[in-house]
């Protein structure tokens, strides 16, 4: 299952981007530049965190708290940015400032804009990972079933630059979660 494609495909629909733009005051074009840069980084950090037993248990705990099965569009419209900011700080840890700075430079946005958009996608990101993990556990890695309805139907494949041997498509993250769930 390509988690990255599912997340990007659902978060970059016109309605999802409209919701994010309205909530954050950030232009739609800026959001469209940011998401393909940010989501692979967040998946990378989630995967890195899940490689330790403590990190994996913490992530599994967070996933149990984020099981929103509404469409991604509705999740983004209803996102709790304060909760999202806590999620981001937990995912990124001491690298929060560096990541915000890097993404601001790459996207042409201010750090405050990047932080605002990411805080609004973070709860939906965890719900998406939770749904993918649950679907993988119950139906096998190849089945998409009801997961596709949450992610808004057909996800469009997105290209992400691989980072130093870590799978950024989400497969490593889902494999770690599957191993811990057994």
Closest to 91 (Cα-Cα) out of 127, 49, 129, 56 = 49
Matching residue, tokens 């915000």: 100
Task: Name the least confident of 37-46, 77-86, 108-117, 159-168.
Answer: 159-168
- Round to whole Å and give the CA distance between 3 and 8: 8
**pLDDT tens-digit map of 96-153:** 999 999 999 999 999 999 999 999 999 999 999 998 888 877 765 444 444 344 445 4
Instruction: Tell which phi-psi region holds residue 170, choosing left (phi > 0), alpha (psi between -120 and 50) or beta.
Output: left
Predicted local confidence at residue 80, as pLDDT:
96
Q: Are 170 and 43 in contact (CB under 8 A)?
A: yes
Q: Are 34 and 104 in contact (CB under 8 A)?
A: no
- Provide the percentage of residues in the chain whose pLDDT is more than 70: 81
Task: Name the least confident of 3-7, 36-40, 74-78.
Answer: 3-7
Q: Where are the beta strands (DSSP E) in 41-180?
A: none
Predicted local confidence at residue 32, as pLDDT:
97
H/E element holding 91?
Answer: helix 81-92
- Round to whole Å and give the CA distance between 32 and 11: 9
Q: Hey, where are the domains in the chain?
A: 3-181
- What mean pLDDT is predicted for residues 64-78? 91
Closest to 7 (Cα-Cα) out of 161, 160, 175, 141 = 160
Close Cβ partners of 91 (under 8 Å, ≥ 6 residues apart)? 42, 45, 46, 49, 122
């Amino acid at each position: 299952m390509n988690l990255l494609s599912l997340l990007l495909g659902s978060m970059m629909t016109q309605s999802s981007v409209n919701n994010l733009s309205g909530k954050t005051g950030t232009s739609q074009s800026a959001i469209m530049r940011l998401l393909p840069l940010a989501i692979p980084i967040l998946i990378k950090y989630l995967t890195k965190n899940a490689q330790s037993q403590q990190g994996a248990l913490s992530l599994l705990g967070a996933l149990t708290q984020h099981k929103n099965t509404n469409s991604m569009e509705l999740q983004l419209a209803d996102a709790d940015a304060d909760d999202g900011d806590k999620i981001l700080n937990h995912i990124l840890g001491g690298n929060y400032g560096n990541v915000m700075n890097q993404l601001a430079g790459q996207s042409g946005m201010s750090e405050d804009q990047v932080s605002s958009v990411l805080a609004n996608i973070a709860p939906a990101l965890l719900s998406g990972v939770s749904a993918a993990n649950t679907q993988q556990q119950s139906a096998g890695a190849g089945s998409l079933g009801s997961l596709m309805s949450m992610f808004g139907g057909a996800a469009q494949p997105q290209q992400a630059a691989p980072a130093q041997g870590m799978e950024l498509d989400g497969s490593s993250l889902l494999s770690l979660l599957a191993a811990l769930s057994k």
